[in-house]
Amino acid sequence: MADPSLHSALLVAFGAIPGAWLRFRLVNHFEPMVPRKHWATFGVNITACFSLGLITALERACGPRPQLGLLLGVGFLGSFSTFSTFSVELLLAWLAGARRQALALMLGSVLCGLLALSLGLQLGA
């Protein structure tokens, strides 16, 4: 590649577009099926954690793949998972008086996220 930084930027961008698009479509699709809207985002984030664990473990096992990391890790999964929607939905649930739901979402997201990530790390190792 003539310009490595342009090449890297393109990898991140090409990962980001399907990542964000898939998140949008999945959340739209599953929103009517879950009891509360924020569990759709929860599912997306947990899936992303598992996949990131898998990719990280595969990278550790097969040697570093910086291009794959940029495309899938930074671009795709970074865009697929989202923190801003999580924190805003948490805030809105709390402000709406659904304190128990908000607590469940907060604890569930962190615990399931870490669990899914370590599951991916274990499976990929």
Partner 1 sequence: MPTQRDTPSPDARFSAEAQALLARRRLRFELRELGLVAAGAVPGALLRWQAEVQLGPWLGGAAGANLLVNLVGSFVLGVLAGPIPRRTSLVLWLGIGFCGSLTTFSSWMLDTAGLFQAGHPGSALALVLGSLALGLLAAALGLACSRRLFRRRSEPSA
- Which residues in this chain contact partner 1 in the complex, by CB under 8 A? 8-9, 12-13, 15-17, 19-21, 23-24, 45, 48-49, 51-53, 56, 70, 73-75, 77-88, 90-92, 94, 106, 109-110, 113-114, 116-118, 121
DSSP, collapsed to helix, strand or coil, labels residue 42 as: helix
Task: Kindly tell me which of 62 and 96 has the beta carbon lying closer to partner 1.
Answer: 96
| ∠ Cα 64 117 19 (to 5°) | 75
Burial class (CB in 10 A: 0-12, 13-18, 19+), 20: middle
Least Cβ distance, residue 76 to partner 1 (angstroms):
9
Which CB atom, from 33 or from 50, has the smaller least distance to partner 1? Answer: 50
